[in-house]
A = this chain, B = another copy of it.
Amino acid sequence: MSTTIPTSQSPASRAETLPASPDGGVTAAPLEQLPSAATPPSPGVTPVETGERIDVAALGKILDGRWWQLRRAARDLALDPDLQKIESLTMEEHRERVLVQSRRLAAMGLVHRAYPPEVGGKGDPGGNLAGFEELAVLDPSLQIKAGVQWGLFGSAVLHLGNEEHHRRWLPGILDLSVPGCFAMTEIGHGSDVASIATTATYDESTAEFVIHTPITAARKEYIGNAALHGVAAVVFAQLVTKGVNHGVHAFYVPIREERADGEMHFVDGVEGSDDGLKGGLRGVDNGQLWFDHLRVPRTNLLNRYGDVAPDGTYSSPISSPGRRFFTMLGTLVQGRVSLSGAAVSVSKMALAIAVAYGTQRRQFTGADEHSEVVLMDYQQHQRRLLPLLARTYAATFAQNELLDRFDEVFSGRHDSDEHRQDLETLAAAAKPMTTWLALDALQEAREACGGAGYMAENRLVGLRQDMDVYVTFEGDNNVLLQLVGKRLLTDYGREMAKVDIAGAVRYVAARAADMTLHRTPLRRAAQSVLDTGSRARSAGHLRAAETQRELLEDRVESMIAEIATALRPARHASPVEAAALFNAHQHELIEAARSHAELLQWEAFTAALPTVRDPRTREVLTTLRDLYGLTLIEKNLAWYLMNGRISGQRAKTVTSYVDRLLMRLRPHVNDLVAAFGYSPGHLRATIATDVEAERQREAREYFRHQRAVGREPINEKELHASQQRSGLAEPGA
């Protein structure tokens, strides 16, 4: 079988000249004429050539929202080498560096805007968070370190303490002379804060609270600043006085003091340990704290929502222990809001890096065997990245709205129980969406950049490691979505309560008929008529904003109505049966909440469109919004089909329409990430510079020169082909 090829003259076998696919596959008849794995560009007209570029500057300002100046100023801190993350530091070095960086932030006064002017702030809660969200661009560890100090520890004193507390403790908190802990979470209880087991028992004889950790499960866990730097802590504990447990309250507790050796040590009655290495955020010194009958003065109770008189009498402006608890926790909603915003910022970075690389990098030849295809021209690459880009835009607009709401409540402009509850629900819906988006975007970007994506110098892996825990802390994402789902059920219940009984019965009966007897709902019948037309017309219909809205809203409403109906028997069931019934619908409820959160993002995206003045920019952005809407519908297409909301005929157009949107957006992808406002200096990823383009230029130049001077060797395959053309026979075996 050995075929000796006397180089430069022997012809090749005809049967063996079929193009082989470059990725290791061998195609065969009758499909051998297919182009190889390497696939071709979308039609090659770039917006630059047609002069139809979008208005990046104006769009950037809209994206950066109301506090765009503060946001950009914070982002630009990332240009300062002293404020950047260094990937190669040890945990110890990283912790020290982040502490030093935090001191710089304190000195700049940049992190104090939310505090009242009396203590050196600006009374600007929204602007503060806008800037704070961007600290993740510098280093997520720095953001969390700052968040622990000024967002949690300091905010607890601000929102739960009285004026005397502010006067005594806020100055040291703001200037970071007193680094502090927010000691809420315990080993035994994470999301279920109401069940923590640390106790603060009032002792009338000394007018002190005795802070105590009775069991291992009650140790404070994952507490930032606990391992090393914390000097004081706000400790959450069950307040017990006169034999009654009044629920969770917060106490200001000194935990470390300088001793004779000049070092900081735990004060007597406090112990702790170091959590050591984590999946990321290695610049934050998390640890455990626990207490052995530690005594603090009565006045260290942060007493805005509950106080104890010297004689031990408890009082509160809120008589319901449950409502009091949620009111206290609600004052700390900014943690959730700002993590959500940080996740959006990091999602933008991930896509900016992946798009920069994907629009430079070429791999596999396409129609032209001498020219390799740009990654971003592959349909699969577009499928991987562009829907994430649409999600990131949607998340950005939704975050801007959330921040406006936050500012309205915390500036006092619209501060009522109802506004606070709405804000909390919005934050609970936003944070799961944005933090999971960040992980999805970072991972897809990482994979889309191949081996280069795995190098620490390209940032994606480090950012993903840091952002990983954002889906867990400040409220586990699944727990938050369940909370949103329960709120939706409550609201639905309120709505139903308004309808007269007969109306409700009719409503339920109509739904039942729809669901079980396959009766054609009106909407579907109308659609079937439309669907006799062309697919293009159906697709056009799906592009209408009102159609998207109707479909997205309908899903949320119908799911909630269905769950509410299914849960009705729980009202008269035993606790065990009721709990089992609820559990049987838990997954569905969480999915309904997710759809609700996605609808909120879709609505925010849609609401932002009219603010874009340039028609071309608005058109492209509308296409991106459509991509967001259509991919949501595509994701839940089975539901729309099963429930008669979309005909089988129209459903088939969804995916092909998404493909069309991808092609339309392809030429604008660089501009769409440029509008995020992250320069290579912010991104600090080697592949987000022009190194890849430069390497390609060098390669092209080299091969051009080789050909020009006649030094390029002839390819064996081409040799075979030319020998065949010249009629030479195949050499003997």
Among residues of B, the one whose C-beta sits closest to the C-beta of A730 is: B319
Q: Which residues does chain B contribute within 8 Å of A187, judged by CB atoms?
A: 695
* With A245-B713, A451-B221, A648-B641: A34-B567 Cβ-Cβ less than 8 Å: yes
A214–B698 CA distance with the chains assembled, in angstroms: 10
Q: Which residues does chain B contribute within 8 Å of A567, judged by CB atoms?
A: 31, 34
* With A20-B322, A27-B486, A575-B368: A279-B456 Cβ-Cβ less than 8 Å: yes
A650–B642 CA distance with the chains assembled, in angstroms: 9
- Tell me if B28 and A494 are in contact (CB < 8 A): yes
Instruction: Judge whether A276 is part of the interface by a CB distance below 8 angstroms.
Output: yes
Instruction: Judge whether A313 is part of the interface by a CB distance below 8 angstroms.
Output: yes
- Tell me if B695 and A586 are in contact (CB < 8 A): no
Q: Which residues does chain B contribute within 8 Å of A37, judged by CB atoms?
A: 479, 482-483, 486
Instruction: Judge whether A35 is part of the interface by a CB distance below 8 angstroms.
Output: yes
Instruction: Judge whether A167 is part of the interface by a CB distance below 8 angstroms.
Output: no
Instruction: Judge whether A300 is part of the interface by a CB distance below 8 angstroms.
Output: no
State which residues 693-733 of A face B: CB under 8 Å.
695-696, 698-699, 702, 713-717, 719-720, 730-731
Q: Which residues does chain B contribute within 8 Å of A188, judged by CB atoms?
A: 695-696, 699
- Tell me if B2 and A317 are in contact (CB < 8 A): yes
A476–B421 CA distance with the chains assembled, in angstroms: 47
Instruction: Judge whether A571 is part of the interface by a CB distance below 8 angstroms.
Output: yes
A245–B518 CA distance with the chains assembled, in angstroms: 67
- Tell me if A23 and B479 are in contact (CB < 8 A): yes
- Tell me if B479 and A28 are in contact (CB < 8 A): no
- Tell me if A490 and B28 are in contact (CB < 8 A): yes
A61–B305 CA distance with the chains assembled, in angstroms: 61
Contact with B along A456-499 (1 / 0, CB 8 A): 11001110110011011101111110110011011001101100
- In the assembled complex, the CB of A326 is this many whole angstroms from the nearest CB of chain B, namely 6
Instruction: Judge whether A136 is part of the interface by a CB distance below 8 angstroms.
Output: no
A123–B662 CA distance with the chains assembled, in angstroms: 51
Instruction: Judge whether A366 is part of the interface by a CB distance below 8 angstroms.
Output: yes
Q: Interface segment, A47-55, A99-107, A189-197, A546-554?
A: A189-197
Q: Which residues does chain B contribute within 8 Å of A424, judged by CB atoms?
A: 24
Contact with B along A9-44 (1 / 0, CB 8 A): 000110011111111111111110111011111110
Q: Which residues does chain B contribute within 8 Å of A368, judged by CB atoms?
A: 575
Most buried by B among A34, A468, A574, A583: A583
Contact with B along A573-590 (1 / 0, CB 8 A): 011101110111111001
Q: Which of B31, B246, B587 contacts A490 (CB 8 A)?
A: B31
- Tell me if B461 and A20 are in contact (CB < 8 A): no
Among residues of B, the one whose C-beta sits closest to the C-beta of A362 is: B188
A473–B462 CA distance with the chains assembled, in angstroms: 19
- Tell me if B583 and A378 are in contact (CB < 8 A): yes
Most buried by B among A319, A421, A453: A319
* With A24-B475, A244-B7, A457-B277: A379-B584 Cβ-Cβ less than 8 Å: yes
- Tell me if A366 and B579 are in contact (CB < 8 A): yes
Instruction: Judge whether A659 is part of the interface by a CB distance below 8 angstroms.
Output: yes
A197–B456 CA distance with the chains assembled, in angstroms: 26
Instruction: Judge whether A5 is part of the interface by a CB distance below 8 angstroms.
Output: yes
Q: Which of B16, B23, B28, B325 contacts A493 (CB 8 A)?
A: B28
Interface size class of A (residues with CB under 8 A): 35 or more
- In the assembled complex, the CB of A442 is this many whole angstroms from the nearest CB of chain B, namely 10
A29–B12 CA distance with the chains assembled, in angstroms: 83
Q: Interface segment, A235-243, A616-624, A667-675?
A: A235-243
- Tell me if B5 and A378 are in contact (CB < 8 A): no
Among residues of B, the one whose C-beta sits closest to the C-beta of A421 is: B26
- Tell me if A483 and B21 are in contact (CB < 8 A): yes
* With A8-B244, A20-B322, A242-B7: A190-B587 Cβ-Cβ less than 8 Å: no
- In the assembled complex, the CB of A451 is this many whole angstroms from the nearest CB of chain B, namely 5
Most buried by B among A366, A496, A564: A366
Instruction: Judge whether A637 is part of the interface by a CB distance below 8 angstroms.
Output: yes
- Tell me if B450 and A461 are in contact (CB < 8 A): no
State which residues 314-356 of A face B: CB under 8 Å.
314-323, 325-326, 329-330
- Tell me if B579 and A450 are in contact (CB < 8 A): no
- In the assembled complex, the CB of A3 is this many whole angstroms from the nearest CB of chain B, namely 4
A34–B487 CA distance with the chains assembled, in angstroms: 12
- Tell me if B469 and A451 are in contact (CB < 8 A): yes
* With A39-B582, A277-B88, A578-B35: A587-B240 Cβ-Cβ less than 8 Å: no
- Tell me if B494 and A29 are in contact (CB < 8 A): yes
A424–B222 CA distance with the chains assembled, in angstroms: 47
- Tell me if A35 and B276 are in contact (CB < 8 A): no
- In the assembled complex, the CB of A571 is this many whole angstroms from the nearest CB of chain B, namely 4
- Tell me if B278 and A5 are in contact (CB < 8 A): no
Among residues of B, the one whose C-beta sits closest to the C-beta of A656 is: B584
- Tell me if B20 and A323 are in contact (CB < 8 A): yes
* With A29-B494, A217-B696: A191-B23 Cβ-Cβ less than 8 Å: yes
Instruction: Judge whether A454 is part of the interface by a CB distance below 8 angstroms.
Output: yes
- Tell me if A579 and B40 are in contact (CB < 8 A): yes
Q: Which residues does chain B contribute within 8 Å of A314, judged by CB atoms?
A: 5, 7, 716
Among residues of B, the one whose C-beta sits closest to the C-beta of A476 is: B450
- In the assembled complex, the CB of A596 is this many whole angstroms from the nearest CB of chain B, namely 14
- In the assembled complex, the CB of A4 is this many whole angstroms from the nearest CB of chain B, namely 4
Q: Which residues does chain B contribute within 8 Å of A483, judged by CB atoms?
A: 21, 23-25, 37
- Tell me if A13 and B320 are in contact (CB < 8 A): yes
Among residues of B, the one whose C-beta sits closest to the C-beta of A460 is: B279
- Tell me if A3 and B317 are in contact (CB < 8 A): yes
* With A6-B313, A21-B483, A518-B649: A326-B31 Cβ-Cβ less than 8 Å: no
- Tell me if A190 and B39 are in contact (CB < 8 A): no
- Tell me if B240 and A489 are in contact (CB < 8 A): no
- Tell me if B380 and A586 are in contact (CB < 8 A): yes
Nearest 5 Cβ contacts at the A-B interface: A279-B461, A40-B579, A20-B322, A16-B320, A277-B456
Query: 26 A-B residue contacts at CB 8 Å?
Result: A5-B316, A16-B322, A21-B483, A22-B195, A23-B192, A23-B482, A23-B483, A26-B326, A26-B421, A31-B493, A37-B482, A42-B580, A43-B580, A188-B699, A191-B450, A192-B372, A195-B364, A215-B698, A243-B714, A244-B719, A276-B456, A277-B455, A278-B461, A279-B462, A447-B476, A465-B465
